[in-house]
Amino acid sequence: MLPTKIAIDGPAASGKSTLAEKLAEYINYMYFDTGVMYRAVTWAALQRLGAVDDEAAVSELAEKVQIDVRPPSEKDGRKNDVFLDGMDVSWEIRTPEVNQDVSEVSTYQGVRRAMTEQQRRIGERGSMVMVGRDIGTVVLPDADLKIYLDASAEERAKRRYQELVGRDMKASYEEILLSVVRRDNIDSTRAIAPLRPADDAIIVDTDGKSIEDVFEEVKMLLK
């Protein structure tokens, strides 16, 4: 019997999204990166409030909006269909403006509480690989399999640097490393749902490993 709900957590650039997507495809489960919900709230705040700097207003908005995430219905590169109050916003949430503000929005306690409830609702459908930073500890504490991907900040910065260079984009390893360390600090010290492995999570260190190495290692956990 395969685990019905699989939670994959880990710090930024640990490879958790890539692993979760490959694993979901392998066992024919839905892949669900919970970050899209914070993007949806950010987009809604920019559209309806004009900015995201009023934490109380953004949190109130997060309590009101209905967000749903489904398997992709279009073969246009999307990983999921993302709906906000019934409207398909799968691509609207990928704009540079949302990229710029989503990290701030995701630290708001009211937003996290609202999104946790909606993520749990979606998770109850089962047959799902859910990825984030607090899935095994907060969102799905009853998940059948919990995996925590980890890697050093230096390793994660190197991966991100190589990814950008591979796209012929200008990149500074030192700046990326500072950004990774800064994000780690925000995620691990926030008051609500800080980044940490669940007590019953299986920790997989990905330093020096390819995604295929990690995938083969995780596949063994399904048996």
Q: What SS3 string covers 29-48? A: CEEEECHHHHHHHHHHHHHH
Domain shared by 81 and 165, yes or no: no
Q: Which of 125, 144, 176 delimits the end of a domain?
A: 125
Helix (H) or strand (E) holding 209: none
Domain shared by 120 and 161, yes or no: no
Domain shared by 133 and 121, yes or no: no
Domain shared by 15 and 69, yes or no: no
Q: Which amino acid is at 83?
A: F
Query: Residue 119: its pLDDT value, please?
Result: 96
Query: Residue 173: its pLDDT value, please?
Result: 93
Query: Residue 99: its pLDDT value, please?
Result: 86
For position 223, which CATH number holds?
A: 3.40.50.300
Domain shared by 222 and 142, yes or no: yes
Q: How many domains does the chain have?
A: 2
Query: Residue 192: its pLDDT value, please?
Result: 77
Domain shared by 143 and 192, yes or no: yes
Cα separation of 11 and 152, whole Å? 10
Query: Residue 198: its pLDDT value, please?
Result: 95
- 93's CB contacts (< 8 A; 6+ apart) are 36, 39, 40, 42, 43, 82
- Through-space distance between the first and last CA atoms of the chain, rounded to whole angstroms: 8
Query: Residue 185: its pLDDT value, please?
Result: 87
- 39's CB contacts (< 8 A; 6+ apart) are 82, 93, 94, 98, 102
Query: Residue 96: its pLDDT value, please?
Result: 87
Pick from 159, 219, 200: which is nearest to 9 by CA?
200
DSSP state, residue 205:
E
Domain shared by 86 and 113, yes or no: yes
pTM for this one? 0.87
Is residue 83 left, alpha or beta, with left meaning phi > 0 and alpha meaning psi from -120 to 50?
A: beta
Burial-class residue 213 by CB neighbours within 10 Å (0-12, 13-18, 19+).
Answer: exposed
Cα separation of 204 and 9, whole Å? 10
Q: Which of 69, 90, 125 delimits the end of a domain?
A: 125
Domain shared by 112 and 188, yes or no: no
Residue segments in the chain with a per-residue pLDDT below the cut of 50: none
Q: Which of 125, 149, 167 delimits the end of a domain?
A: 125
Alpha-carbon distances, residue 145 vs 12, 33, 134, 209 (angstroms): 20, 16, 14, 21
**Which domain, by its residues, includes 206?**
1-29+127-223
Per DSSP, the three-state class of 145 is: strand
